[in-house]
Amino acid sequence: MSESLYAWIRRWAELRPTATALVDGHLSLGYRALAEAVERTAHGLDVPPVPGHVAPRWGVLMGNTVADVVLVLALARAGLAPVLLDPRSTPDEIASMTRIARLSGVLNPGAASARSQPLPAGPLPAAGRLAPFGLVTSGTNGLPKVVRRDWASTLTVCASFADTAGYRPDDVVLCTTPLHHSYAFGIALVSGLLSGATVALAPTPPSPADLANWIGELRPTVIQSVPFLYRVLVPRLPSVGNIARLCVSAGERLDATTAEAWREASGTSLSNHYGATENAVITLADPGDVESVGRTVPGVRVRIGHPGNTGRPTEGEVWVRGPGRHSRYWGQSALTRETFTGGWQRTGDWGTLLPDGRLVLTGRLSQRLSVAGRKVDPVEVEAVLRSHPQVQDCLVTGPPAGSAESGFFAFVAASGVGELELRRYLAARLSAYKVPTRLVLRSELPRTGTNKVHTARLWRELMTS
Whether the pLDDT of residue 435 is over 70: the answer is yes
pLDDT value at position 130? Answer: 72
Second-level CATH architecture of 368-464: 2-Layer Sandwich (3.30)
pLDDT value at position 143? Answer: 58
Whether the pLDDT of residue 402 is over 80: the answer is no
> CATH code for 5-273?
3.40.50.12780
Which residues are paired to 375 by β-bridges? 370
pLDDT value at position 410? Answer: 95
pLDDT value at position 46? Answer: 59
Domain ranges in the chain? 5-273, 368-464
Give residue 373's pLDDT band: very low, low, confident or very high (50, 70, 90). low
pLDDT value at position 166? Answer: 97
Q: Kindly give, in sequence order, each residue whose CB lies less than 8 Å from that of residue 96, ignoring residues fewer than 6 positions away.
A: 144
In tens, the pLDDT along 262-287 reads 999 999 999 999 999 998 899 999 99
pLDDT value at position 22? Answer: 98
What number is the average pLDDT over the span 350-376?
81
What are the start-end ranges of the E strands in 287-408? 295-296, 301-304, 316-321, 328-329, 340-341, 344-353, 359-364, 369-371, 374-376, 391-397
Give residue 255's pLDDT band: very low, low, confident or very high (50, 70, 90). confident
In tens, the pLDDT along 116-133 reads 334 444 455 554 457 899
Q: Which of 201, 255, 195 minimizes the C-alpha distance to 223?
A: 201
Q: CA angle, corner 331, sides to 137 and 132, nearest 5?
A: 70
CB 222 within 8 A of CB 43: no
Handedness of CA 443, 411, 395, 380 (dihedral sign): negative
Amino acid of residue 87: P
Q: Which helix (H) or strand (E) holds 172?
A: strand 172-175
In tens, the pLDDT along 314-358 reads 788 999 999 877 789 999 898 899 899 888 999 888 899 999 999
What number is the average pLDDT over the span 383-411?
86
Q: Which of 81, 40, 79, 32 minimizes the C-alpha distance to 60?
A: 81
Whether the pLDDT of residue 99 is over 60: the answer is yes
Higher pLDDT, 215 or 401: 215
Q: Which of 258, 288, 175 minimizes the C-alpha distance to 224?
A: 175
What number is the average pLDDT over the span 89-103?
86
What number is the average pLDDT over the span 134-139?
79
Backbone angles phi, psi at 415, to 5 degrees: -135, 140
**How many angstroms separate the CA atoms of 289 and 275, rounded?**
16
Mean pLDDT, rounded, of the chain: 87
Collapsed DSSP state (helix, strand, coil) of residue 459? helix
